[in-house]
Amino acid sequence: MKPFPSIFPSLCLLLVLYANAPLSGQTMPEPVLEYTIDDPVALQAEVVAVNLDLPWDLVWGPDDRIWFTERTGAIKAYNPVTGLVELIDTVPNVFNSSDNSGLHALFLHPDFENEPWIYVNYTFTFNDLRLSRFRYDGTALVEEDTLLELAGQDSHNGARFQLDQSGRLLFATGDAFNPFLPQDSSSANGKILRMELDGSVPADNPFVDLPYPGNLTYSIGHRNPQGLVQLPNGEIWETEHGPDSEDEMNRILRGRNYGWPEVNGSCDQPEEEAFCADYAVVEPVLTWTPTAGPSGLDYYNHPAIPQWRNSLIAGFLKRRGDPGQRIRVARLSDDGTEVLSVTDYLHEGPVLPTDLGQLNQTGVFGRIRDVLCAPDGSVYLCTSNREFNGQYVVTEADDRLIRIYNPAFSAEAVPEGEVLVYPNPAPSGSAVYLKFPDDASGELPIRIYDIRGRLVLDQLVEVGPFVVIRLRGLAPGNYLLRMGANDYSATIAERTVKFQVRPRND
């Protein structure tokens, strides 16, 4: 045990309870393929792909397809235009136990056209987890570059990737069922790590003086994080599984301690108080008891679904009655630091009959593993119903990719006071059209920054219903467009919009 500087936690014995016996003799229900969500603006949820094999991570690719991992090792891509699911390639040497090991998190290099690296994490033995990147030659994974090895298990493997605003890769890792690791500075487990895209240690990391891999640490004391996202303003949010109580939604702060295993959820028990005080433990913003199994997490801020603007959307896995199998939309304060309200969706599914008696009510689509907010304003979900511990009666359609969208939304009908970058992603070498309200006027400074924070365009524009910004010279990748800021007289409020430039197909 090598503690973090000035951190000497006492030992803690954990009792891990399994209650996930496989079900037998169920009546297979009809798969739900369409569902209407009644909300201030009515939404449609439809199944767009079926028969997937435990998809784990959805990523919007530079080719405008949704890339995803399957547990057994496949990387596939769903084309929203054609509806086709195609195999990219299969990661070799993926180890699958009967529970929850396998291929998990996925990330594509932000400059994929010039740096075609696919980042994945996967178990390669029962006890070993690997973060590797593979070079993609257009048809196959051709070269494995292993950036990190850490402890794995048949569950508690985390994990998610997120590119941070300085262009470094965040990687949320699980405790691999070992409660000593999250507070141990010599272990990469139970942490949020931060690394350069080649796996090296950024010089401005909070524990940069520790021996490797402790110097990769960005935050400490996580149990089994499966949701990680950064907002356009830099705020980082995370979700993780609690033991038998207090699942967590956390606001992640640099270098801070999130408590596990000394503290479960909030600092609300006598035995937690001393550790909380000594190590300035950051308490979760939200907790869920009984546990609900929070998994994928993304940030929504598109005008297409107005009631979800400036919200985190979290997927949940567990059955057992009220808290699980749904998405939760957590509306944020303007600065993205507080949750103002939480609304649940997709939880009112069928009550399933079995020879064990009536199962509790399940979610409409079952276990939700990941959430992806797409550039066109729709939200994609994937299910995780085929797992050994599946707390859901598997249908012929499982596992499924689901799209939620507002059928009444048109990019032409942007609400009053809104600004829309359209199209997004934009083909490289083309232009983006900024759509303003009809009565907007004045001069407006527009600045575009690349993913490393470098200013790549600085322009003063005359505002009208449409403003055209030429994108000549911008390489494919992710950008932040900032408008407003100083010395403007426009009726447009200062704001930041994330957009993507994709390679031309022609």
Which residues form the interface with Ca ion (CB under 5 A)?
Answer: 57-58, 258-259, 264-266, 268, 370
Work out how close the CB of 114 gets to Ca ion at its nearest, in angstroms, rounded to a whole number.
23
Omega before residue 80 within 30° of 0, cis: no
Burial profile 322-351: b = 16 or more Cβ within 10 angstroms, e = fewer: ebbbbbbbbbbeeebeebeeeeebbbebee
Integer angstrom CA distances of residue 489 from 74, 418, 420, 447: 52, 17, 19, 16
Residue whose CB is less far from Ca ion, 259 or 323: 259
Options 104, 109, 156, 241, the catalytic residue: 156
Q: How far apart are CA 254 and CA 265, in angstroms?
A: 19
Radius of gyration of the chain (CA): 22
Work out how close the CB of 95 gets to Ca ion at its nearest, in angstroms, rounded to a whole number.
22
Residue whose CB is less far from Ca ion, 374 or 414: 374
Work out how close the CB of 296 gets to Ca ion at its nearest, in angstroms, rounded to a whole number.
6
Work out how close the CB of 161 gets to Ca ion at its nearest, in angstroms, rounded to a whole number.
8
Residue whose CB is less far from Ca ion, 190 or 265: 265
307 DSSP assignment = G
Q: Is the dihedral of CA 500, 306, 165, 315 positive or negative?
A: negative
Q: How far apart are CA 52 and CA 422, in angstroms?
A: 31
Question: Which are the contacts of 203, defined by CB distance < 8 A and separation ≥ 6?
Answer: none
Residue whose CB is less far from Ca ion, 115 or 268: 268
Q: How far apart are CA 295 and CA 58, in angstroms?
A: 12
Residue whose CB is less far from Ca ion, 290 or 353: 290
CB-CB contact of 176 with 222 (8 Å): no
Residue whose CB is less far from Ca ion, 243 or 349: 243
User: Is 156 considered catalytic here?
Assistant: yes
Closest to 456 measured CA to CA, from 484, 434, 477: 477
Residue 368 CA, distance from chain mean position: 12
Residue whose CB is less far from Ca ion, 281 or 483: 281
Work out how close the CB of 242 gets to Ca ion at its nearest, in angstroms, rounded to a whole number.
8
Q: Where are the alpha helices (DSSP H) in 10-137?
A: none
First to last CA, the chain: 56
Question: Which are the contacts of 491, defined by CB distance < 8 A and separation ≥ 6?
Answer: 437, 439, 440, 441, 442, 463
216 DSSP assignment = G
Residue whose CB is less far from Ca ion, 258 or 308: 258
Work out how close the CB of 306 gets to Ca ion at its nearest, in angstroms, rounded to a whole number.
24
Work out how close the CB of 107 gets to Ca ion at its nearest, in angstroms, rounded to a whole number.
9
Closest to 181 measured CA to CA, from 45, 19, 311, 4: 4
Q: How far apart are CA 466 and CA 446, in angstroms?
A: 14
Work out how close the CB of 299 gets to Ca ion at its nearest, in angstroms, rounded to a whole number.
11
Q: Which residues are catalytic?
A: 156
